[in-house]
């Protein structure tokens, strides 16, 4: 009998199938080919599901031939043939599209062509069935409770949720939202591209609009009662609906930003981290990716992607994502990481968590990287542009393992504050040793008392600015209100110095304990911050607060996303950055993995300064990328106002 997958399909051709049950219980699949945009193409239902283990099972025929089918697909088809689903999807009338059946998975060329059609297949489907899996002990309860939640408004009536559901209901929802569908790479674009989607689990269903409302209620209620459902349980679902909101409003989903925002997702083939999002990409990003290539290894695919990005967008900002991927990756993924140059993000590793703005390079003002700030925060007024107007000057080696680029070296890192780490002990402070920072004169330490004026200058103009990356909000949209943030910072320092009996914010006290002994210009951070604050209440000191405790009450806390404390948490905890001081005494924020002796550079065409590390036993111009950094006074093209010498950096 003829091979159902012969001849191969190309162009805009697709395969569709109908199913029915044979007398012996075998699933009968009738597979036919159609021109997707042709008049003969029937209305069809697309599917979105989790492949699971790559195991195949008997129990189906395709065009009369016994043929093993992916186990998860066969399970889905059998459920669709059950009595409760036959009425909704009559077998004789319903045509289906399912990737594991409609695409010849053994033909890389066909796979590549069909991947490019995803952006057409799902929007043309009359409906998409999102299959969360078979019924479990509490899945029916979860689906029913989600339907109830979709009708509530916790902001107007938070008590309604206490009445509506008990602990078992919330636990069932947590279990459902932890299902694999919510973290699989391919299912994201299948969901966003679909016009009409329904979520199905066992015999229950809920449409995407009610699911959207329900997940929004879960998020809102978590703000009121955070112990009712773990954030990790609903976060992936929430992120998807947040992206749906943007996509529905026809706001762009930049590919690199989407890759970073979905870095907790899972795929079987590392290359599919890129290709599974291609249907969501705009025309320029599709040009950057090109035709999906399943014949090249993942390393080459990712390297070519960066090269194409740099050339198409005339920007080196993408290299900043490389350190973000490494720094927040699951340890088990790092153990199996790809062998990539330090300037290439490894999209194959899964991150412990991902946020709407994973790094400074994904600032709101740069659309070629992009971020996923909420709809009410689309505007922006500030931009990082360390390189000014200079575009990249780059050259790639023949094997694409080296990228040589032009830039300037600002200084070497001398000292580093400590920083906390996820699931690890904090990184300790690395003490400054340069003559400028130790105050070494004539072979001895000159610890001169720091003046009130100097302390105020350090706190008000430099440290407060660096600790918030000169931004007011976590989406990096607006410049920091330096006067306001400095006052908040000073109030916290004064309370610490005078031992005011109040609970200080953890992000501040944690940062202070890890950084207080760092030497800058001959004094410790602690001495600089607390100088002039030991006098009695009401005495003349560095800060004019009559009642410190009262002043602290006026400081917005962590729940205010535009407060100094919240921004400090974003910088030090979420982004993992640490205070640094250079040999000449300049201050900034360095990536977690920075070391003493690393160099701070501005690369032409990169919006953010970067920290590089010279490769041992190699030529002096050969470096590895450690990550992006904030350098006070060098974030907006100031390199052109100073006399820095251009040089080449060979990144490996």
| Of residues 300, 310, 585, the one with CA closest to residue 454 | 585
Residue-wise pLDDT for 17-66, tens only, equals 999 986 688 999 999 999 999 999 999 999 999 998 888 999 999 999 99
Q: How far apart are the first and last CA of the chain?
A: 54
Q: Identify the pLDDT of residue 559.
A: 60
When pLDDT is cut at 50, 70 and 90, the band that residue 454 belongs to is low
Among residues of the chain, what percentage have pLDDT more than 70? Answer: 88
Report pLDDT digits (tens) over 88-146: 999 999 999 999 999 999 999 999 999 999 999 999 999 999 999 999 999 999 999 99
Tokens of residue 254, six digits: 């930049």
* Burial environment of residue 380 by CB neighbours within 10 A (0 to 12, 13 to 18, 19 or more): middle
**Cα distance between residue 202 and residue 364, in whole Å:** 41
User: Residue 539: pLDDT above 70?
Assistant: no
**How many CA atoms within 13 Å lie on the side-chain side of 91?**
17
**Which residues touch 652 (CB under 8 Å, ≥6 apart)?**
341, 342, 401, 402, 615, 622, 623, 624
Asked whether residue 169 carries a pLDDT value surpassing 50, the answer given is yes
With a cut of 90, say whether residue 355 has pLDDT above it: no
Question: Is the pLDDT at 191 greater than 60, yes or no?
Answer: yes
- Report the pLDDT value the prediction gives residue 161, as an integer from 0 to 100: 61
Tell me: pLDDT of 649 over 90.
yes
Q: 64-77 pLDDT, tens per residue? A: 999 999 999 999 99
What pLDDT digit, counting tens, does each position of 619-640 carry?
999 999 999 999 999 999 999 8
Which tops the pLDDT comparison, 372 or 318? 318
pLDDT, averaged across the chain: 88
**For residue 86, with 0-12 CB atoms within 10 Å meaning exposed, 13-18 middle and 19 or more buried, which class applies?**
middle
- What is the predicted pLDDT for the residue at 447? 44
In this prediction, residue 545 has a pLDDT band, given cuts at 50, 70 and 90, of very low
Nearest-angstrom CA–CA distance, 549 and 257 = 42
Closest CA to 173 of 197, 204, 130: 204
- Provide the angle, in degrees to the nearest 10, between the axes of the packed helices 208-224 and 167-177: 120
- Cα 94 to its chain centre, rounded Å, is 38
Tokens of 616: 């041992």
Q: What span, in angstroms and rounded, lies between the C-alpha atoms of 372 and 260?
A: 10
The model's pLDDT over 193-209, given as tens digits with 9 standing for 90+, comes to: 999 999 999 999 999 99
CB proximity list for 401: less than 8 A, separation 6 or greater: 303, 341, 652
Residue 316 has pLDDT above 50, yes or no: yes
Q: State yes or no: pLDDT of 555 exceeds 70.
A: no
Q: In which band, very low, low, confident or very high, does the pLDDT at 546 lie, cut at 50, 70 and 90?
A: very low
Domain ranges (residues) in the chain: 13-125, 131-248, 255-384, 404-651
With beta carbons less than 8 A apart as the criterion, state whether 415 and 431 touch: yes
Predicted TM-score (pTM) of the model is 0.90
Query: Mean pLDDT, to the nearest integer, of 466-494?
Result: 91
Q: Per-residue pLDDT averaged across 252-266, rounded? A: 90
pLDDT score recorded for residue 538? 38
Max mean pLDDT among 379-393, 502-516, 622-636 falls in 622-636
pLDDT in tens, 423-453: 778 899 999 999 999 987 544 444 444 454 5
- 510-536 average pLDDT score: 81
Provide the pLDDT confidence category of residue 398 given band limits of 50, 70 and 90: very high
Residue 517 has pLDDT above 90, yes or no: yes
pLDDT over 80 at 253, yes or no: yes
Report the pLDDT value the prediction gives residue 541, as an integer from 0 to 100. 41
Q: Which of 128-132, 158-162, 174-178, 470-474 has the lowest mean pLDDT?
A: 158-162
Q: What is the pLDDT of residue 444?
A: 41
- Residue 147's nearest CA partner among 197, 198, 207 is 207
């Amino acid at each position: 009998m003829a091979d159902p997958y012969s001849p191969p399909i190309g162009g805009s051709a697709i395969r569709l199938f109908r199913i029915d049950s044979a007398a012996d219980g075998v699933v009968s699949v009738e597979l036919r080919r159609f021109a997707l945009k042709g008049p003969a193409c029937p209305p069809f239902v697309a599917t979105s599901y989790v492949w699971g283990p790559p195991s195949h099972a008997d129990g189906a025929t395709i065009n009369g031939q016994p043929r093993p089918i992916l186990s998860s697909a066969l399970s889905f088809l059998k459920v669709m043939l059950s009595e409760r689903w036959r009425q909704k999807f009559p077998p004789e009338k319903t045509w289906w599209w399912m990737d594991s059946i409609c695409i010849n998975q053994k033909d890389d060329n066909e796979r590549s062509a069909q991947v490019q059609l995803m952006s057409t297949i799902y929007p043309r489907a009359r409906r998409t069935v999102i299959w969360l899996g078979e019924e479990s002990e509490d899945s029916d309860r979860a689906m029913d409770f989600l339907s109830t939640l979709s009708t509530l408004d916790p902001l107007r009536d938070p008590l309604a949720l206490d009445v509506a559901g008990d602990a078992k209901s919330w636990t069932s929802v947590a279990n459902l939202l932890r299902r694999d569908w919510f973290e699989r790479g391919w299912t994201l674009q299948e969901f966003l591209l679909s016009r009409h989607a329904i979520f199905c689990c066992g015999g229950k269903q809920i449409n995407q609009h009610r699911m959207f409302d329900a997940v929004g209620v879960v998020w809102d209620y978590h703000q009121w009662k955070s112990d009712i459902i773990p954030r990790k349980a609903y976060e992936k679902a929430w992120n998807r609906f947040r992206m749906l909101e943007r996509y529905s409003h026809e706001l762009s989903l930049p590919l690199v930003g989407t890759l970073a925002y979905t870095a907790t997702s899972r795929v079987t083939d590392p290359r599919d981290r890129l290709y599974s999002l291609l249907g969501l990409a705009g025309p320029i990003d599709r040009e950057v990716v090109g035709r999906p290539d399943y014949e090249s290894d993942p390393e080459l695919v990712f390297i070519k992607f960066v090269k194409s990005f740099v050339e198409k967008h005339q920007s080196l900002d993408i290299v900043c994502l490389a350190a973000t991927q490494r720094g927040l990756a699951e340890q088990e993924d790092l153990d199996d990481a790809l062998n990539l140059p330090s300037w290439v993000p490894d999209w194959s590793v899964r991150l412990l968590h991902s946020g709407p703005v994973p790094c400074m390079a994904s600032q709101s003002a740069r659309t070629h990287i992009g971020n996923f700030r909420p709809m009410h925060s689309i505007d922006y007024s500030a931009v990082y542009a360390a390189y000014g107007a200079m575009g990249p000057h780059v050259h790639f080696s023949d094997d694409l393992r080296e990228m040589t680029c032009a830039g300037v070296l600002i200084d070497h890192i001398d000292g580093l504050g400590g920083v906390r780490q996820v699931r690890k002990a904090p990184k300790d402070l690395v003490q400054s040793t340069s003559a400028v920072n130790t105050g070494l004169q004539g072979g001895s330490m000159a610890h001169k008392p720091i003046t009130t004026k100097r302390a105020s200058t350090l706190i008000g103009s430099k440290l407060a600015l660096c600790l918030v990356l000169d931004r007011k909000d976590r989406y990096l949209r607006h410049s920091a209100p330096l006067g306001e943030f400095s006052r908040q910072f000073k109030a916290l320092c004064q309370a610490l110095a005078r031992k005011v009996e109040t609970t200080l914010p953890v992000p501040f006290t944690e940062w202070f304990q890890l950084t207080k002994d760092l030497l800058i210009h001959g004094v410790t951070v602690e001495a600089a911050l607390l100088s002039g604050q030991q006098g009695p209440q009401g005495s003349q000191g560095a800060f004019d607060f009559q009642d410190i405790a009262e002043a602290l009450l006026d400081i917005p806390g962590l729940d205010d996303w535009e407060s100094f404390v919240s921004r400090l948490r974003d910088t030090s905890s979420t982004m993992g950055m640490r205070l640094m001081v250079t040999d000449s005494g300049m201050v900034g924020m360095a990536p977690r993995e920075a070391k003493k002796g690393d160099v701070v550079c501005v690369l032409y065409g990169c919006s953010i300064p970067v920290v590089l590390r010279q490769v041992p036993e190699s030529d002096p111009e050969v470096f590895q990328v450690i990550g992006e950094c904030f350098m006070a006074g060098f974030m907006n093209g100031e390199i052109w106002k100073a006399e820095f010498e251009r040089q080449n950096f060979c990144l490996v």
